[in-house]
Homo-oligomer: A and B are copies of this chain.
Amino acid sequence: MFLSELMPVKQAHRLIKNTLTQTSTEKILLEEAYKRILAQDVTSLLDSPHFDRSAMDGYALQAQDTFGFSERNPATLTIIDRIGAGTVSNATVRKGEAVKIATGAPIPIGADSVIMEEYTQEREDHLEVESSVTPGENVSFQGEDIKRGDVVLKKGKILQPQDLAIIASAGYSNVEVYRKPRVGIITTGSELVTPKSNIHGAEVINSNHYTLKALIESSLAIPELIQCKDEAELVENEFKKMLQKNDVLITTGGTAISKGDVVVDVADKLGEVMIHGVSIRPGKPFAYAKIDNKPVFMLSGYPVAAMVQFDVLVSEHLLEMQNLNWKTPTVKKTAARKIPSTLGRTDYIRAKTVGDKVKPLKIKGSGIIRSMVESDSYIVIEENLEGVMEGEMCDVLLYNSLRV
């Protein structure tokens, strides 16, 4: 019924990836699109700039009128109009004439360049030009930044502030993005209680509730949380309810690889358990199922194990469902001391970086939340390594780089 061998991490990723379906797309206001994932190629409806415009505050004129003139020997032109950024001049600039122009305003007909204000002196309607310009100088030409029909952004990109500017400039105030996956989270355990100052008997504070909500948000998904006693019938009911309302289900607790693992038993009854046990440490008792064609990630109840499992095995798949090809960016650091490991298992060791060095934390259990707070990264020791020697380079995953 259950798989008994521990599955290597890479194989688990492949299996999960192959069973995922992308979320549908939705059209949203461009104003709301920061950090959403683009579901369309954006083709510009417009040239940008939309007209030849002045790149400086100054005077639009014919460059040839300035040739050979200088501070000692200024040219004298007649100012025939003055325009701000929002205005089109009706004047036509002829030989010996100039239009005062603000940055961003359209170049008037007849002018081919702009002389900066700094190189001129205005005397009533006359302008003394103390420098020469070349044709095209200080002009931003139509379509210089974007041409109508250009694809300015491609599908699958996570939208940054500057991307919103180019979509706006391409003529759009709406944009098509992938819907954020709705993620139901069931934290199981009869011992779990909400935080309070007076703990009784075997009660344990349900800290996973808070961490997972934040982790789901950091993966650009929408969490819905519920807490449930670890009794089969109750868990089964919550599974059904949460699967109906959500695209993904995540559970914590009840995954230990022994008899009586309520959560995995329920998943097995309702669907297909495809992974039960992964060769990572901490976090071995990870399980994955498909129920009603929806992915179910079953994490440990222990906070540290649950966080490692989320970071290693869940986060990038929530992003993939939105068509973001997310590669967790490992960096190289020098190990500040020897780190033993075991062949055939990928270790994620909580660690602290200082400059180019990384130091593993000294910790015992997988339940030690303080170690997550005091560390800033995982040292990753792949399954084909027996550890890392002091001074050797090793792979490091910074927590910050794991949060989108």
Contact = CB atoms under 8 A, between A and B. Distances in A.
Interface of A: 30-31, 33-35, 45-46, 48-51, 55, 57, 84-88, 102-106, 117, 140, 144-146, 152-153, 160-173, 189-192, 194-197, 199, 201-215, 217-218, 229-230, 253, 256, 258, 301-303, 307, 364-370, 372-373, 399, 403
Contacts of A307: 161-162, 165
**This chain: copies in complex:** 2
A191 B104 contact: yes
B214 A34 contact: yes
A214 B160 contact: yes
15 contacts: A30-B195, A31-B210, A33-B210, A86-B203, A87-B190, A104-B367, A145-B370, A162-B211, A162-B307, A164-B207, A165-B208, A165-B373, A166-B370, A166-B373, A169-B205
A119 B370 CA distance: 30
Contacts of A211: 161-162, 164-165
A219 to B, nearest CB: 10
Contacts of A88: 201-202
Contact of A199 (B46, B202, B204, B213): B46
Nearest to A208: B165
A210 to B, nearest CB: 4
B145 A369 contact: yes
A60 to B, nearest CB: 13
A210 B165 CA distance: 6
A204 B104 contact: yes
Given A160-B399, A197-B45, A258-B117, A168 B205 contact: yes
Given A57-B258, A370-B146, A373-B153, A86 B202 contact: yes
Contacts of A103: 256, 301-302
* 5 shortest interchain CB distances as A-B pairs: A86-B190, A86-B191, A34-B214, A162-B372, A164-B210
Contacts of A196: 171, 173
Contact of A164 (B86, B102, B214): B214
A248 B148 CA distance: 37
A30 B210 contact: yes
A5 to B, nearest CB: 15
Contact of A194 (B173, B199, B201): B173
Nearest to A105: B202
Contacts of A46: 197, 199, 205
A17 to B, nearest CB: 23
A84 to B, nearest CB: 7
B367 A49 contact: yes
A276 to B, nearest CB: 15
A359 to B, nearest CB: 18
A45 B198 CA distance: 8
Given A162-B372, A171-B197, A140 B230 contact: no
Nearest to A301: B104
Nearest to A303: B165
A205 to B, nearest CB: 5
Contacts of A204: 49-50, 85, 104
Contact of A207 (B166, B203, B212): B166
Contacts of A190: 84-87
B34 A217 contact: yes
Give the most central of A163, A202, A213: most B CB within 10 Å: A202
A370 B364 CA distance: 51
Contacts of A207: 164-166, 168-169
Contacts of A303: 162, 165
Contacts of A192: 86
A47 to B, nearest CB: 9
